[in-house]
Amino acid sequence: MASIFRSEKMALCQLYLSSETAYNCVSELGEIGLVQFRDVSLKFRIMLNPDVNSFQKKFVHEIRRCEEMERKLNYLETEAGKDDIEIVDQGDNPEAPQPKEMIDFEATFEKLELELSEVNSNAESLKKNFLELTELKHVLEASEVFFAERETEPSSNLDENLLSAEDGVTQGPVQLEFVAGVIERSRMPVFERMLWRVCRGNAFLRQQEISTPLKDPHTGHDINKVVFLVVFQGEHFKIKVKRICEGCRATLYPCPETSAERKEMIDGVKTRLEDLNTVLSQTNDHRNRLLTAAAKHLRVWIIKVRKMKGIYFTLNQFNYDVTSNCLIAEVWIPETDIGRIKTALCKAAELSGSTMEPILNRMETRTKPPTFHRRNRFTNGFQNLIDAYAICTYREINPGLYTTTTFPFLFGVMFGDCGHGIIMALFALYLVIKEKAIIAAKYKAEMFNMIFAGRYIVLLMGCFSIYTGFIYNDIYSKSFNIFGSRFHVGNVSKTAVLCDNKTEFMLNPADPAEYEGEPYPMGMDPIWQISLNKITFQNSYKMKISVIIGIIHMMFGLVLSLLNYIHFKKTIDILFQFIPQAFTEYDCDCEDPYMYPSQYNLQLALVVISIVMIPILLLPKPFILKQQNKNKMRMKSLESHAYEQDIGEESDHETSSHGKTKAVDGEGETVLISVQQESDHETSRNGKTKAVEGKGETVLIPVQEEEEGGGGIRVFRNIHTSNNSYYRIRIRLYFSYSILPTFMGIVSRPRSIVRCFVDDDFKKRFSSVISKYNTLCIKVKTKTIHCKKIPISLLQPYMAGGTIFVYIAFAIWSFLTIAILVIMEGLSAFLHTLRLHWVEFCSKFMYGEGYAFEPFSFKHFVEDEEGVTRSCRFISNKEIIH
Amino acid sequence: MGASAIPIILMTLLWGAVGIVLPIILPKGPNRSLLQCILIITAVSCWLFWLCCYMHQMNPLIGPYMHNSTLLAVRKLWDE
């Protein structure tokens, strides 16, 4: 299967469907998911009627109906979610319903929605009633308490107070009036203050909190309320008090004066409350029953409605030919799948019982086809990493294939610890084994989903880390000693060491008694782990390995670029880009000192050749291109009146190795140059800003695709005249984007490779620190005296209390290991590997100007709702631009 | 300059088997070329990695620098 090496060959076909079979055929195509539709519905119409837009397409009405149904279903879903009713998801994949079933669906959903909203409003009014009655009950109970207190006081007291306000005319006990009600606790202070001010102290307020919070029927939140009782005298106070109550949104309740009446009222309220409770619970039951019955089918309905909507969206992209009553579409299909699509179409047409066979007619075109990589669940993760950088140009070599192994390997070089590698690999293995269950469970946690999507990447990263950790001889910053160290302490006598007044000693590798002539067979000698100058020794190793691996990686990238050039038959590029770059690479490689004699001369020669190569790299190409383009222009102007002007021919890609230029050249037609400043910090450091005039300019020339035949001709001529300036800009861009990166590349390549070992170094230091801390803790706590400084094995606790300390110390160690070393360092190494891949490897040969193949597929619709809206919006946006 | 022959031969044979023999005898299937690519790159990179480590230790310019007590312990535990 060569498709992952390069993207698949795509064929542009015309699809003729009769109106009866169109729906079924599109449904079948959606199930297969290998066909990308191009919107041709406006292609001819725009010539006749330039004001036509996407709202006047044929199936807009049906789409509206589908959206209405979707809305109803979403409403049902949210209501079911409120009650925590489980929506049954059996994971089955129902077929798209027939158009005639749409009316039945609509009726069902309408009915369900009405019932549900009826039940909801009923429940709300019942709850309101319930609330009022509860509040009334509280008011009555509280006022019982108030008046009971009052009765214990001698009534004369109160009367006296009030009597003194009058002019000595005694009329016996004055009748006091009161109002009782309930107010929110938060408004109580305001209420109190207002009452005091307005009534000038002549009103008397008693309050009592309601202990249980009451539920607000509207929002469902709990609100704390307070019962109050305002006592005052006189009619006009009554009006004032009532107004204040209204203002503070307190609800007043009628409260009878006599105790007996109150008791009667309380009883009445209580019975009514009970009745209400029963009615409420019945309503809730009814609602539950409704929702559970609906929830059984809800998932299936949602999928069906979405599929239907998708089909109508796609049908809108067809061109409707009135004369022959058929729908015409332009589709991209992978060449190898044409047969399969044909059989599927025939089958669907048979099912719908039509006489006209669907026709799939291959068209010749010069438009760039979309890039399609056939993936399986293993390659999916790696391909996503590359696609995040850029989508490969059509038929370009796909870095994703090599990324499957180079990425984990480079990660392993940076991460390099057996123990942590084992943790990673086991975790990823668990994810891989439980794949199906986890996919079916459909977790929403985004971080977990990201890691799950990359499970194969993590698995491979772990495996390679185990291997590199074994070679680095590092497991939780301890070493294996499998083959026996090659360093011996034979000759050094005990007395010599102790009496020499030296506390440290270096074994001499030149001495055969101290170092066997041959190195440790597999990996680093274990003696280094316990020596003080381990880092020094390993550093030089890691430097060398980084440079070697980096150069090889980049040379590999260059070779791939050569293959690309051969494939696309661009001799210029071979001569003027590959060869100079190869020499520059080779020169960089020989920086490693003293590998062999006469190296100085060789180095000098290579440097000279590199310098000569640079102008060769940069200069001839623009002029040759210019000449080529002039020739093509002359030919094109002869064809400018041709109708099927398939412009958009890619001729040159001056995409640079660094920034993101999208100089998609369409021979003057399709030019959208957006020049971004290099965010790479190397730009600013390197002062070479010659030929920078083109940089920073954003040149926007109207984009025209071949759809608008008539309109295209008009604009085409306009652009002709601005060709000269266009070329000037292009040449400037080419210069700036080639000179700078080349120089910077020479400087940056060793740096970036070296970066990868710096990571490793830091990690090693940190992990050794942690491990030392841990062993130290254990030793201290277990109070052993012997062998204090040899962390060759974890020591046994000698004291009983030591067990607990070991337990705690292990907890701390494992937390630090996993949180910092595995996750943080792992992420950091991942990021650096990714950067290495993108910048150093992909930029060597990948132009990345393709656009992804986005087939019409129900898989997205079924699994992910956002995918539906995204793809539908994507479709309609494209229409608006064109 | 010391290099024992056995490790070199063994490792080269091992990674040669992984990188050359295994891809040839791989059963035909849809993923054959993908697996071949993976095996070859794995073999090359892992062999190279091992080789660099081996060669780096062939001619060491410095030796391990240790405390006296470590030396004594090494002598006691490893050399006897």
Q: What is the predicted pLDDT for the residue at A427?
A: 94
Of A484, A505, A787, the CB nearest to B66: A505
A323-362 burial, b if ≥16 CB within 10 A, otherwise e? eeebbbbbbbbbeebeeebbebbbebbeebebeeebebee
H/E segment holding residue A732: helix A723-782
Nearest CA in chain B to A527: B64
Q: How far apart are CA B17 and CA A108, in angstroms?
A: 66
Q: How far apart are CA A717 and CA A389, in angstroms?
A: 36
Q: What is the predicted pLDDT for the residue at A675?
A: 30
User: Which among A738, A753, A714 is positioned nearest to A839, based on CA atoms?
Assistant: A753
Q: How far apart are CA A500 and CA A129, in angstroms?
A: 98
Q: Sign of dihedral through CA atoms A698, A699, A701, A705?
A: negative
DSSP type of residue A669: S
Q: How far apart are CA A617 and CA A534, in angstroms?
A: 44
Q: How far apart are CA A473 and CA A471, in angstroms?
A: 5
Question: What is the nearest CA distance from B65 to chain A, expressed in angstroms?
Answer: 4
Number of Cβ within a 10 Å radius of residue A828: 15
CB B66 within 8 A of CB A505: yes
Q: How far apart are CA A657 and CA A683, in angstroms?
A: 13
Question: What is the nearest CA distance from B9 to chain A, expressed in angstroms?
Answer: 11
Q: Is B52 within 8 Å of A545 when comparing Cβ atoms? A: yes
CB A296 within 8 A of CB A88: yes
A1 and B CB contact within 8 Å: yes
- A chain contacts of residue B57, beta-carbon cutoff 8 Å: 486, 519-520, 524-525
Q: What is the predicted pLDDT for the residue at A414?
A: 86
Structure-token pair, residue A704 = 């025209």
Any idea where the domains of chain A sit in the sequence?
A: 54-153+174-309, 559-634
DSSP type of residue A452: H
Q: What is the predicted pLDDT for the residue at A298?
A: 86
First to last CA, chain A: 37
User: Which among A377, A370, A537, A473 is positioned nearest to A12, based on CA atoms?
Assistant: A370
Q: Sign of dihedral through CA atoms A428, A434, A436, A441?
A: negative
CB B38 within 8 A of CB A526: no
DSSP type of residue A180: E
Structure-token pair, residue B5 = 């022959």
Q: Is A524 within 8 Å of B38 when comparing Cβ atoms? A: no
Q: Is B74 within 8 Å of A530 when comparing Cβ atoms? A: yes
Q: Is B37 within 8 Å of A505 when comparing Cβ atoms? A: no
- A chain contacts of residue B52, beta-carbon cutoff 8 Å: 541, 544-545, 548
What is the SS3 assignment for A570-638? CHHHHHHHHHHHHHHHHHHHCCCCCCCCCHHHHHHHHHHHHHHHHHHHHCHHHHHHHHHHHHHHHHHHH
CB A411 within 8 A of CB A462: no
For residue range B18-66, what is the model confidence (pLDDT) as tens digits? 999 999 998 888 888 899 999 999 999 999 999 999 988 888 888 888 8
| CA A635 to the chain's CA centroid | 47
> Which residues between 15 and 54 in chain B have a beta carbon less than 8 angstroms from any beta carbon of chain A?
30-34, 37-38, 41-42, 45-46, 48-50, 52-54
Residues with Cβ within 8 Å of residue A148, at least 6 apart in sequence: none
User: Which among B43, B14, B40 is positioned nearest to A521, based on CA atoms?
Assistant: B14
Number of Cβ within a 10 Å radius of residue B46: 22
Q: How far apart are CA A337 and CA A34, in angstroms?
A: 8
Query: How many residue contacts between A and B have a Cβ separation below 8 Å?
Result: 166
Residues with Cβ within 8 Å of residue A104, at least 6 apart in sequence: none
Cβ-based burial of A843 (10 A; exposed 0-12, middle 13-18, buried ≥19): buried
Q: What is the predicted pLDDT for the residue at B46?
A: 94
CB A8 within 8 A of CB A372: yes
Structure-token pair, residue A644 = 């099927």
- B chain contacts of residue A459, beta-carbon cutoff 8 Å: none
pTM of the model: 0.72
Interface test with B, best of A790, A792, A833, A836 (most B CBs within 10 A): A790
Cβ-based burial of B26 (10 A; exposed 0-12, middle 13-18, buried ≥19): middle
Q: What is the predicted pLDDT for the residue at A405?
A: 93
- A chain contacts of residue B11, beta-carbon cutoff 8 Å: 522
Number of Cβ within a 10 Å radius of residue B75: 17
Angle (CA) A854-A856-A862 rounded to 5° is 110
Angle (CA) A665-A667-A668 rounded to 5° is 90
What is the SS3 assignment for A41-104? CCCCHHHHCCCCCHHHCCCHHHHHHHHHHHHHHHHHHHHHHHCCCCCCCCCCCCCCCCCCHHHH
Given a cut of 50, the residues of chain A with pLDDT beneath it are 1, 153-165, 168-170, 590-597, 640-722, 776-797, 867, 870, 873-882
Structure-token pair, residue A688 = 């070479």
Residue A594 has φ and ψ, to the nearest 5°, of: 60, 40
CB B11 within 8 A of CB A522: yes
CB A276 within 8 A of CB A126: yes
Angle between helices A455-472 and B32-56 (to 10 degrees): 20
| CA A676 to the chain's CA centroid | 24
- A chain contacts of residue B79, beta-carbon cutoff 8 Å: 488-490
> Which residues between 353 and 382 in chain A have a beta carbon less than 8 angstroms from any beta carbon of chain B?
376, 379
CA distances in angstroms from A522 to A308, A408, A595, listed in the order given: 62, 21, 23
Q: Is A5 within 8 Å of B64 when comparing Cβ atoms? A: no
Q: How far apart are CA A19 and CA A704, in angstroms?
A: 31
Q: Is B75 within 8 Å of A523 when comparing Cβ atoms? A: no
Number of Cβ within a 10 Å radius of residue A147: 17
Q: How far apart are CA B69 and CA A311, in angstroms?
A: 79
DSSP type of residue A487: B
3-class SS at A749?
helix
Residues with Cβ within 8 Å of residue A261, at least 6 apart in sequence: none
Q: How far apart are CA A742 and CA A843, in angstroms?
A: 12
Of A487, A517, A540, the CB nearest to B63: A487
3-class SS at A6?
strand
| CA A399 to the chain's CA centroid | 22
User: Which among A423, A429, A469, A465 is positioned nearest to A816, based on CA atoms?
Assistant: A423
Widest pairwise Cα distance in chain B: 61
User: Which among A79, A69, A82, A89 is positioned nearest to A115, based on CA atoms?
Assistant: A79
User: Which among A394, A396, A400, A403 is positioned nearest to A851, based on CA atoms?
Assistant: A394
Residues with Cβ within 8 Å of residue A186, at least 6 apart in sequence: A224
Residue A160 has φ and ψ, to the nearest 5°, of: -60, -45
Q: Round the CA-based radius of gyration of chain A to a whole number and report it.
A: 41
ipTM of the complex: 0.95
User: Which among A526, A488, A532, A540 is positioned nearest to A509, based on CA atoms?
Assistant: A488
3-class SS at A233?
coil
- A chain contacts of residue B61, beta-carbon cutoff 8 Å: 509
Q: Is B68 within 8 Å of A505 when comparing Cβ atoms? A: yes
